[in-house]
Amino acid sequence: MREEREEFYEENDFQDTVQRYESMKRNKAQCFFDVFEFENIINYYIDINEANSAFEAIKLATKQHPTSVILQLKKAQVLVDKGEPLKSLEILKKLERIELNNYEIFAIKGSALSLLGDIKEAIKNFNYALSLDPENKDELLYTIALSFIQLNRYKDAIQYLLKANKIDPDNPSYLYELGFCYNKINELNKSIEFYTKYLELDPFADNIWYNLGIVYNKANELEKAVEAYDFALAINPEHSYSCFNKANILVSLERYKEAIEAYENYMELEDEIAEALTYIGECYEKLDERDKAIKYYKEALKSDPEFPEPWFYIGNILLKKGMAEESVYYLKKAVHLDREDPMFWAELGRAYKKMNEINEAYNAYKQATKLDPYDERIWLEYAHLLYDNSLIKDAVTVLTNALVQLNSSPVIYYHLAAYCFMTGDCELGFTNLNKALSIDYDQHNEFFKLYPEGRSDKKIKETLMHFKND
């Protein structure tokens, strides 16, 4: 059967068949196509990921050729592609009785079962299909692997891809998917190995260089990542994502001027540039050129007024300049656009604190700790705001709540101990002081910064001496 199909491909112009079919549809005419022509038409739509068009062709094909096993198989396959595995299985059950040794039936059945979550039965059918010793076994292994990739079962996919790769080690599709899957399961050296093998076959594959850059970045091999992105850009100067990712890595390497150049190159290639303009602003901040930074943040706002980060960064700079009231305008806008970012709320709390707007500062810090209960600094600032306003018992409550998530933080315990002593609760003060000293004795000056009178307390001195000697 496969030989007949291959012969048909050689003797007929594939594109002419598809064009004749599409012309028939446009003109609402009726034309006859034989089974092999329909198979080619359906394959064409499958190849370009148009499952609905493929299914439309199948409906006409099965009307003209209702007994064709080939077309029924195609129908079953397209139903799987459309996410209708149960309908596919109905067809496959009938075909099994007709052609028990047709491996394609069991391969498609495996795909349908995997979509239904019955992985054990799926594997059983896949393996049975392979046992029928199909021609081009590596292609079947590859098809099976793709079924598992679709389900994010990358380890299962790898098993089949490795077998396909063993049969045909120079097939770029197998190398690509192995690189992809190993990246997904964080076996980064393996991912690099297979992407590198791909590039040995095709060193001008810009997307593979791009993928390799991503993996090197994940592996924290930043110089190699930059080099990979440079290769991608040398091959394809319009590969905008390589520009953007390269710029981000250059920021991590503190090569800010080079990063700015890369972001500028990215902006020449893309229409949506607010994010890149913001990152250029950040680079200028790192270079201690705040006026230039603000200029770029404002350019970002012109490009996209709904992008929250530049609002935040302008507010942050104004606060650093001592312009708290002006900063609040920008920080409130950032919070309005993204109410889920704890950094925005914390900075708004700092601005309100500078303005002595205590209730507003209190509410902002409270929201920040809700959104990120693991940020030690925010909890300490929140508690200190209360302490500064003689609400020391409230500060104790805040830091007690912080310990739900940060129960191994010595600084939280030292501050909590100090506040407890200030309220006169010496028993709780010693409990927290002991805990802090047992975690990290060397940070005990954190306690005395808040409670300097503790230096002359005999029992506190004895407690410190006990832990120092331990």
In the three-class reduction of DSSP (H, G, I as helix; E, B as strand; rest coil), residue 190 is classed as: helix
Q: Which residues contact 69 (CB under 8 A, 6 or more apart)?
A: 95, 98, 99, 102
Tell me what pLDDT residue 34 has.
Answer: 85
The mean pLDDT of 350-372, rounded to a whole number, is 97
Euclidean distance between CA atoms 394 and 391, whole angstroms: 5
Tell me if 260 is assigned to some domain.
Answer: no
How many domains would you assign to the chain? 1
Residues 222 and 253 sit within 8 Å (Cβ to Cβ): yes
Q: Is the pLDDT of residue 138 over 80?
A: yes
Q: Which residues contact 57 (CB under 8 A, 6 or more apart)?
A: 21, 38, 41, 42, 45
Residues 395 and 419 sit within 8 Å (Cβ to Cβ): yes
What 8-state DSSP symbol labels residue 390?
A: T
Structural domain span for residue 442: 384-470
Is residue 418 very low, low, confident or very high in pLDDT (cuts 50, 70, 90)?
Answer: very high
Tell me if 413 is assigned to some domain.
Answer: yes
Tell me if 418 is assigned to some domain.
Answer: yes
Lowest-pLDDT range, 89-98, 291-300, 378-387?
89-98
The pair of three-digit structure tokens given for residue 102, joined into one six-digit string:
């047709």
Tell me if 330 is assigned to some domain.
Answer: no
Query: What percent of the chain stands above pLDDT 70?
Result: 97
The mean pLDDT of 306-312, rounded to a whole number, is 98
Residues shown for the chain: 470
Tell me if 268 is assigned to some domain.
Answer: no
Tell me if 76 is assigned to some domain.
Answer: no
Q: Is the pLDDT of residue 82 over 70?
A: yes
Alpha-helical (H) ranges within 99-236 are 103-115, 119-131, 137-150, 154-167, 172-184, 188-201, 206-218, 222-235
Tell me if 259 is assigned to some domain.
Answer: no
Is residue 21 very low, low, confident or very high in pLDDT (cuts 50, 70, 90)?
Answer: confident
Q: What is the pLDDT of residues 153-206, one digit of tens each?
A: 999 999 999 999 999 999 999 999 999 999 999 999 999 999 999 999 999 999
Is residue 14 very low, low, confident or very high in pLDDT (cuts 50, 70, 90)?
Answer: low
Q: Is the pLDDT of residue 467 over 50?
A: yes
Query: Average model confidence (pLDDT) for the chain?
Result: 92
Tell me what pLDDT residue 44 has.
Answer: 84
Tell me what pLDDT residue 5 has.
Answer: 41
Q: Is the pLDDT of residue 435 over 60?
A: yes
Tell me what pLDDT residue 10 has.
Answer: 42
Q: What is the pLDDT of residues 144-153, one digit of tens each?
A: 999 899 889 9
Tell me if 27 is assigned to some domain.
Answer: no
Query: Model-level pTM?
Result: 0.81
Tell me what pLDDT residue 81 has.
Answer: 83
